[in-house]
Chains A and B, each alone.
Chain A
Amino acid sequence: EAQVTQNPRYLITVTGKKLTVTCSQNMNHEYMSWYRQDPGLGLRQIYYSMNVEVTDKGDVPEGYKVSRKEKRNFPLILESPSPNQTSLYFCASSTQGSGYGYTFGSGTRLTVV
């Protein structure tokens, strides 16, 4: 089944403790992206990647890192999480760039205390 898989689904952590949210897609998509979703603000792009070893900042990249060493994986790294990073996170992938239909993961609900 074609899908984007995120892990974990839920995560509670403490301020400053490094964490990684994994994202993997099995559709051989070139384009992958991370979003956060907060009430009243909609989906905001954190980082995106056009292909392996090519990443770029989205609208809200502060406090996040990404890497794209393999085509299928696009992990999101929070080096020193803070409470304002409490949010619902989505990974998405698409073929031929962002102008085509996205497939979204099921989401990761992160709480930083």
Chain B
Amino acid sequence: KNQVEQSPQSLIILEGKNCTLQCNYTVSPFSNLRWYKQDTGRGPVSLTIMTFSENTKSNGRYTATLDADTKQSSLHITASQLSDSASYICVVSGEYSDKIIFGKGTRLHILP
């Protein structure tokens, strides 16, 4: 069964610190993986998209990594800011499917 598991479920860190969010998936064959940021009550906004051949992709202070062999991805946030407080959702698409699989997200709280 195609699944996307994210950890931790929630995370609290101090402003200025770094953190790493994890995403493990079982979707096969794999097409691409995306990380979204969702502010409370708002629609998710895409941060990065990675295909099979990509290992690392950055978007400002956000860096996503992908290991297609172990089916794992991480999202690293550097020098966190209060505005980084949000849910981060990992989304995986299969190669021959018109559906995508959403993780349940990691809720990140940045404390001043």
Contact = CB atoms under 8 A, between A and B. Distances in A.
Main secondary structure of the interface of B (DSSP, over half): strand
Nearest to A91: B43
Interface residues of A, number: 26
Given A101-B49, A104-B44, A41 B104 contact: yes
Contact of A99 (B31, B41, B44, B45): B31
Contact of A98 (B44, B46, B89, B93): B93
Given A58-B99, A99-B31, A99-B32, A109 B41 contact: yes
Interface of B: 31-32, 34, 41-46, 49, 89, 91, 93-94, 97-100, 102-105
A75 interface: no
A24 to B, nearest CB: 14
B102 A98 contact: no
A105 B46 CA distance: 12
Of all A-B residue pairs in the complex, the 9 with the closest CB atoms, nearest first, are A104-B43, A42-B104, A99-B93, A43-B102, A98-B100, A99-B31, A101-B46, A104-B44, A106-B43
A23 to B, nearest CB: 11
A88 interface: yes
Given A42-B89, A42-B105, A43-B89, A99 B100 contact: yes
